[in-house]
Homo-oligomer: A and B are copies of this chain.
Amino acid sequence: MAQRKHVQRVNDNHRGEQSLEHLRDRLREFAAARDWNQFHSPKNLAIALSVEAGELLEHFQWLSDQESLTLPDDKREKIKEELADVLLYLIRLADVLNVDLIKSADTKIEANAQQYPVDKSRGSAKKYTEL
């Protein structure tokens, strides 16, 4: 029983280490150790996020939709890195703005569900303003 409890705690820690909060804390330490907070204005972080999103998109440039689903391994690895870069700048930007990302995303899904009712939007790629 004691043993099982220990295992449970280790697993919890492990999950904790891989959470958004843990990444946020590591990015805080990363910036502080390098004296980078002077560069991390929301404006600059929004630029960085947009630049990374462009680098991510570059990997899909010229591919057909089908090709974008069946990527060679080396390309897939680079895409994983770009996805990570986007997430890291997103977490950092939310942090300096004191925004709870998960909560905001939760609220946004609710709003999207209102704007795109199932019956009106099924099978349609139209924007809600055109539904």
Size of the chain A interface, CB-CB below 8 angstroms: 78
**Copies of this subunit:** 4
- Which residue of chain B lies nearest to A84 when distances are taken between CB atoms in the complex? B108
B34 x A121 contact (CB < 8 A): yes
B80 x A99 contact (CB < 8 A): yes
Instruction: Let me know if A112 is at the binding interface, CB within 8 A.
Output: yes
A27 x B76 contact (CB < 8 A): no
Which residues from chain B contact A84 at a C-beta distance below 8 Å?
101, 104-105, 107-108
Q: Which A residues are closer than 8 A to B by beta carbons?
A: 17-20, 23, 26-27, 30, 33-36, 38-39, 41-44, 46-66, 68-69, 71, 76, 79-81, 83-88, 90-91, 93-94, 96-97, 99, 101-109, 111-113, 116, 118, 121-125
